[in-house]
Homo-oligomer: A and B are copies of this chain.
Amino acid sequence: MKQGELAEQLIAWRRDFHQYPEQGFLEIRTASKVAGVLDELGYELALGKEVMTEAGCMGKPGEKETKQHLEWALENGADTRYVEYFAEGYTGIVATLRTAQPGPTIAYRVDMDALPIHESDAADHVPNQAGFRSTATGTMHACGHDSHTSIGLGLATKLAENKDQLSGTIKLIFQPAEEGTRGAKSMAEAGVVDNVDYFIASHIGTGVPHQHFVAASNGFLATSKLNITFKGVAAHAGAKPQEGKNALLAAASAVLNMHAVTRHSDGSSRVNVGELHAGSGRNIIPDYAMLIAETRGETSEINQYVKEQVQSIVDGAAKMYQLNAKVEVAGEALNCDCSLGVAEILKQCAESHPEIAGALLESSDSSGSEDATYFMDRVQRGGGQATYCIFGTELAAGHHNEKFDIHEDTLLPAVEVLYQAAKEIGRIAE
């Protein structure tokens, strides 16, 4: 594909995914389309449960919701040749390209999921103007994963077309459910990055200026996403209050004490109970409470420390009121430092790209979390190198905002820098 054609194709893909956004573990239409393109390009495919463990999935929607969404996907253009692999919500893909020459194994991580956000219908919102606003009410690609998927397919195209100029093995990992850091663990545990020598995850935007590049984005906080439930006994609050077991009092105690978890002297930590819903009526002793919470830590150890305190607090609060409590892990990510070796290669590739105005080796500005860290950690423990890079772009509004939008001329340079890195890594490794 010529450069101009590829640029157009990238935009077409991105707008298609934008128009049909799918949330985590429900990327059935998206994954089927991706599989179709990769299959046609000649990649060796491993799909769904072949590349995901059941136990590793966190915060996966229930069977009913998945089935309903499957119908939506089929009605909205899912590629029926591949839907069966993804029908139960295991929507991961590993596409492998074996080049002619021996060489290292290089893996790229691509995420595909959208957010539970209602997209703006404002007149000045480009997707609205240009006719590719979300058709799925309440779901929106407000973090740029539509462009990631598009870049992933562009990269796949370029790699396949230039296979003979490359060496080693290349794996493209399309991951579900990055939002909420729910999907990567399942693929990492299935072994998809075992024996990978170089691992590259990338993101668009995140505050990096337009046409700028960061080769190693450090500072992700390890995190655990926790759904906590207390189950008690209801009773009439006027007539027989003593017969109740009050789940809200336990929850309120848990909330206060979770936020009071002692700071760790090794680094920063966070606790947030983002939502609490309890009780079923004014005059009824509340018999259940649900907390939507998260912990974070500057290191995986600190996050683990906080998580353990939270578990104790929840157990104790339940004991106080003679309740049952459950802490369900609905998402998790590690902290991981980028390998500067591979980052340096990426930086050089970016610097030599005419459309990129500036490239930084390392930045630590992040204070969010990313489950690409599961892959990175596993690669590094296996002796490989891993980095997380950022392609700056002009944003119409911040990530997770209903008016979020990227600048589409970032797509092609991203593909080219990532492609160039594969070529360069192969060259160096010879």
Contact = CB atoms under 8 A, between A and B. Distances in A.
Contacts of A292: 279, 281-282
Contacts of A266: 242
A282 B265 contact: no
Contact of A241 (B249, B270, B286, B289): B270
Contacts of A276: 248, 251-252, 276-279, 286, 289
Given A265-B239, A296-B238, A316-B317, A286 B275 contact: yes
B280 A237 contact: no
Given A257-B253, A312-B321, A274 B263 contact: no
Contacts of A289: 276
A305 interface: yes
A273 interface: yes
A320 to B, nearest CB: 3
Contacts of A367: 238-240, 265
A256 B264 contact: no
25 contacts: A225-B282, A238-B265, A239-B368, A240-B265, A248-B273, A249-B255, A249-B259, A251-B252, A253-B257, A257-B260, A262-B285, A263-B269, A268-B268, A274-B279, A274-B281, A274-B283, A274-B285, A276-B286, A281-B292, A282-B293, A312-B319, A312-B320, A312-B322, A315-B319, A315-B320
A301 to B, nearest CB: 10
A313 interface: yes
A272 interface: yes
Given A242-B265, A256-B253, A264-B242, A237 B294 contact: yes
A300 to B, nearest CB: 15
B238 A262 contact: no
Contacts of A293: 282
Contact of A320 (B238, B272, B317): B317
B283 A294 contact: yes
Interface of A: 180, 221, 223, 225, 237-242, 244, 246, 248-249, 251-253, 255-257, 259-260, 262-270, 272-286, 289, 292-294, 296, 305, 312-313, 315-322, 367-369
A244 B309 CA distance: 12
Contact of A244 (B180, B262, B278, B296): B262
**Chain A contact surface mostly:** mixed
A267 B279 CA distance: 25
Given A238-B296, A282-B293, 5 more contacts: A242-B305, A256-B256, A276-B277, A279-B292, A319-B319
A269 B238 CA distance: 9
Contacts of A272: 237-238, 241, 282-285
7 closest residue pairs by CB, A with B = A316-B320, A259-B260, A316-B319, A237-B272, A275-B279, A252-B252, A274-B282
Contacts of A221: 238
Contacts of A368: 238-239
A68 to B, nearest CB: 22
Nearest to A259: B260
A255 B265 contact: no
